[in-house]
Structure 1
Amino acid sequence: YPHHVVRGTVGLWSKYPLSGERLVDIKPPGIAEGWSRGVRAVVDSPYGDIAAYVAHLPSVRVGAGGLTSERRDESAELLGRAIAAESVDTVILLGDLNGAVEDRGLAPLTSRLNVAERGFAFSFPASLPLARIDQVMARSATVGHIRTLPATGSDHLPVAARVTLG
C-alpha cells in the first residue's frame, strides 16, 4: 500500500491518500512517558473522508488478586473520548483492544461504534485462538463480517473485515 503512517507501535497502510496524521493520547496514568499506541489519520477515499484510528490498548494482566484491566479500561475511555470528539462523520477503529466486544471495559468504544455483525475471527493466541481481542469497529459504516487471516509469526492472527460505508 503506497500510503502509510506509523507512530509508536501502531501503523496504518492505505490504498488511498492519508492526511491529518497524529498521535492519539490513550496512555493511562502510571505508564511511562514515550508509550505511544494510538494513531489517527483521514483516508481520502473515493467514498469520502474516513477518520481511521489504530490502537493497541494495554493488556489485561493476571495478578495476585486475579485479572486486572484498569489500564486497558482507562485507555479505552481515552480512545472513546477522542472518537466522540471526531469531526469526520465516518470513523473506522482497528486494533488490538485486548478485549471481546462484550467486555464492559470496552463500553466507551462499543457504545459509540458498530461492531461486526457476523464472524468469529478468534485471533488470540495465534497458536490456539480462543478469543477475538483484535477488533474492527465503525461509526456511520457497517462492519458486516470479520474473519482471521493466516498466521504471520505474531502471537495474534491478523483479522480482515468487510466494511460498508454509508
Structure 2
Amino acid sequence: MTLTPAPHRPRTTTAEPRPPRRGRRRGTLTTACAVLLAALLARPGLLPDGPGHLGSLTDTLLPWTALALPLLGAAALLRRSRTALAAVALPLALWLTAFGGTLTDKSAGGGDLTVVSHNVNQDNPDPEGTARRLAAADADILALEELSPGTAPVYERALAPAYRYHFFQGTVGIWSVFPLRDARSLPIMPWSRALRATAETPRGPLTVYVAHLPSVRVSPAAGFTTGARDAALARLTGFIRAEDASRAVLLGDFNGSADDRALRPLTSRFASAQATSGAGFGFTWPSGFPVVRIDQILVGGVRATSAWTLPATRSDHLPVAARIAL
C-alpha cells in the first residue's frame, strides 16, 4: 500500500494588534500640556476670571510657569518625542518674550528724588528698628502701610530726625523732606487705608498717593477671593481719576501683582517703576522667600530711572524703592 502524504496547507494566523506605544501616548500628553501653557502665555486673558477669580490668580502666578518648562522638556526627551520637544519650544519662546526683558537691568542714572514704600506689618516686633532701617535708605518720600495705634507713634518719633513733614491717618502714612499740603485721607474703606498729599519739591508739586488694599485669600471652596480688594481699588481709582494730577506717584501694598488684570484700572494709567526701570521681578512677599510682588511704586507724568527692593526688616514684606525724575 502506497501512502500519499497529505497536501501541505500553510497555517494561517491572525495577527494580533500591537498595543499602543506608551511613549507615543505620553509624548502626546506632553505636547498637549506645552500647547496649553503656550496659550496661557500668548493670551493671559484667555482664562475667564470667574467664578473664583482664577484669571487673576493665573495672572499673578504666570512668571512661575517657567518652572514647568524644564519638566516638560525633560518629559519630551525621556519619551524621545520630537513633536513634544518642538511643542515645548513654543511656550519657552513666549515666556522669554513676556518676561525675558524683566530679568535685565533697566536702571539708569539720574533722577530728582527717591521714594520708598513699606508694609511694616502691624505685628512687627521691632518697629523702632524698622524705622531706623528705613531712615538709612535716605528716601525723600517714605510711605508706610499697616500702621497701628500702638506702632504709629513709634514711627513718628523714630523718623522725626530725618523727616520734617509727615501725615498719617488710620493704617497709612507719609513722611517727607519736602513740605506737604492738601494731605487727607481717601475713604476707600470704612477705616482709613489710603491718603493723598502734595509734596512741594524744588522742581514743582508732586501728588503722592499711599494705599493699602484689602487682602486676598485662596481657598478650595471660594477660589481667589478678591471682592473687597477690587471694590476698594475701584474707589481709589475714582479719586485718582477725579483729581487727574499731572504728576503723581502711587505707593503701597495692593495685594496684587502688576500683571493681575484686576489692577488694570491703575496699571493702564500708571507705569510700574519695577517693570520699566528695575532688574528682575522684584518680588516682595513673603519676605523670607518672596514669590510675588504685591508692593508697588507706580508713576504717572514722571519717570522712574531705577527701582529696587531694600533689605528685609522685621516685617513680612520687603520695602520697595525707586528713583524718580520729575
Who wins on radius of gyration, i.e. which is larger? 2
Match of 1:56 among 202, 212, 224: 212
CA-based RMSD: 1.2
Does 1:72 pair with 2:234? Answer: no
Q: Provide TM-score, normalisation by structure 1.
A: 0.91
Contact 1:151–1:157, Cα closer than 8 Å, also in 2: yes
| 1:79–1:109 Cα contact (<8 Å) kept | no
Amino acid at match of 2:277: R
The match for 2:186 is 24
Aligned counterparts of 2:256 and 2:305: Cα–Cα separation in 1: 19
Deviation at residue 74 of structure 1 after TM alignment: 1.3
Question: Which residue does the alignment assign to 1:93?
Answer: 250
Q: Distance in 2 between the 1:81 and 1:145 partners? A: 28
152, 158, 165: which one aligns with 1:3? 165
SS in 1 for 2:198: strand
After TM superposition, list the pairs within 5 Å mapping 1:82-121 onto structure 2.
Answer: 82-116=239-273, 117-119=276-278, 120-121=281-282
- State the shift of 1:67 in Å: 1.1
Does residue 1:132 correspond to 2:293, yes or no? yes
SS in 2 for 1:145: strand
Q: Which moved more, 1:137-146 or 1:14-23?
A: 137-146
Distance 2:254 2:304 in 1: 16
- 1:13 alignment partner in structure 2: 175
Residue identity opposite 2:227 in structure 1: E
Structure 1 match to 2:44: none
Q: Give the match's secondary structure for 2:265.
A: helix
| Structure 1 position 157, deviation (Å) | 0.5
**Are the aligned partners of 1:80 and 1:112 in contact in 2 as well (CA < 8 Å)?**
no
Question: Where does residue 152 of structure 2 map in the other structure?
Answer: none
Alpha-carbon distance, 1:17 to partner? 0.4
Q: Structure 2-normalised TM-score? A: 0.47
- CA deviations 1:64-88 (Å, max 9, x no partner) are 2211111111111111111111153
What secondary structure does 1:83 align onto?
helix
The residue number in structure 2 matching 1:30 is none
Q: Is the 8 A contact 1:49 1:88 kept in 2?
A: no
Aligned to 1:145: 306
Q: Which runs of 5 or more residues in structure 1 are unaligned?
A: 28-32
Give the aligned length: 159
CA distance in 2, matches of 1:144, 1:124: 23
2:317 to 145, 156, 161: 156
Q: CA deviation at 1:143?
A: 2.5
Per-residue CA distance 1:92-136 (angstroms, 9 max, x = gap)? 100001111110111111111121203222110011111110000
Uncovered stretches (5+) of structure 2, i.e. residues with no partner: 1-162
Amino acid at match of 1:51: T
Percent identity of paired positions between Structure 1 and Structure 2: 48
Q: Supply the AA of the counterpart residue of 1:118.
A: S
Q: Which has the larger share of strand?
A: 1
Once the two structures are superposed, what CA deviation does each residue of 1:35-92 show, in whole Å capped at 9, x if it has no partner? Answer: 2100111100011111100000001112322111111111111111111111531111
1-side partners of 2:286 and 2:175: how far apart?
24
